[in-house]
Amino acid sequence: MAQWFECKVRYEKIQENGATKKVSETYLVDALSFTEAEARTIEELTPRLGGEFSVSTVKRTKIVEIFPDDSTDRWYLVKVAFISIDEKTAAEKKTISQVLVAANDFKGAYDNFMEGMKGTLGDFEIHSINETMIMDVYNAKKG
């Protein structure tokens, strides 16, 4: 099962007018530890950013699933409640999970989420869909 870490990266970005500005960007990394998440972020961004940058924050997320879409670079966080019935008390129980969905807009996030959930046997309800500041997602390396 994937373990997702949110890594914030700070660096100086050159604006269109030629001025430099300090920016902070967020990336999501599948890693086994905080150390691996930081190392993977540095490995992935070194060729892209070229200059100096630092990983200022690494924190574990509660994201359980990611539904990617190669046609976009915007990410939405869907909070979903999976509904189950307690067999002893017959009471309804809701378990909240977070799913990251790539989409061009809010409706696309909803549609992509529903497409990803096709075939799910349990009942669920969406609690919220919010756009994130995540710039990119780096899956675990194979092999």
User: Looking at the 3D structure of the chain, how many domains does it have?
Assistant: 2
Other CB atoms closer than 10 Å to residue 118's CB: what's the count?
6
More confident residue, 58 or 2: 58
- The reply to whether 129 and 66 lie within a common domain is yes
pLDDT at 142: 66
- The reply to whether 54 and 8 lie within a common domain is yes
Task: Name the region of 107 (left: φ>0; alpha: ψ -120 to 50; beta: rest).
Answer: alpha
Parent domain of 86: 62-133
pLDDT band at 18 (very low <50, low <70, confident <90, very high): confident
Other CB atoms closer than 10 Å to residue 9's CB: what's the count?
21
Structure-block tokens of residue 17? 């007018």
pLDDT at 104: 95
Query: 92-102 and 75-85 as β-strands: parallel, antiparallel, unpaired?
Result: antiparallel
- The reply to whether 69 and 57 lie within a common domain is no
pLDDT band at 13 (very low <50, low <70, confident <90, very high): confident
Among 46, 61, 76, where does a domain finish?
Answer: 61
Q: What percentage of the chain carries pLDDT values higher than 70?
A: 98
- Tell me if 100 is assigned to some domain: yes
Average pLDDT over residues 117-129: 91
> Could you tell me if 72 and 25 are in contact, meaning their C-beta atoms sit under 8 angstroms apart?
no
- The reply to whether 68 and 120 lie within a common domain is yes
pLDDT band at 129 (very low <50, low <70, confident <90, very high): very high
- The reply to whether 66 and 47 lie within a common domain is no
Strand spans (E) along 3-142:
4-14, 20-30, 53-60, 63-67, 75-85, 92-102, 123-131, 134-138
Other CB atoms closer than 10 Å to residue 110's CB: what's the count?
16
Residue 143 clears pLDDT 70, i.e. is over it: no
- The reply to whether 55 and 118 lie within a common domain is no
- The reply to whether 78 and 45 lie within a common domain is no
pTM: 0.87
pLDDT band at 130 (very low <50, low <70, confident <90, very high): very high
pLDDT at 122: 84
Q: Return d(Cα 30, Cα 17) in angstroms, integer.
A: 36
Residue 70 clears pLDDT 60, i.e. is over it: yes
Residue 107 clears pLDDT 70, i.e. is over it: yes
Among 44, 61, 78, where does a domain finish?
Answer: 61
Average pLDDT, the chain: 92
Q: Which of 23, 22, 30, 21 is nearest to 3 (CA)?
A: 30
- Paired residues of 20 in beta bridges: 14
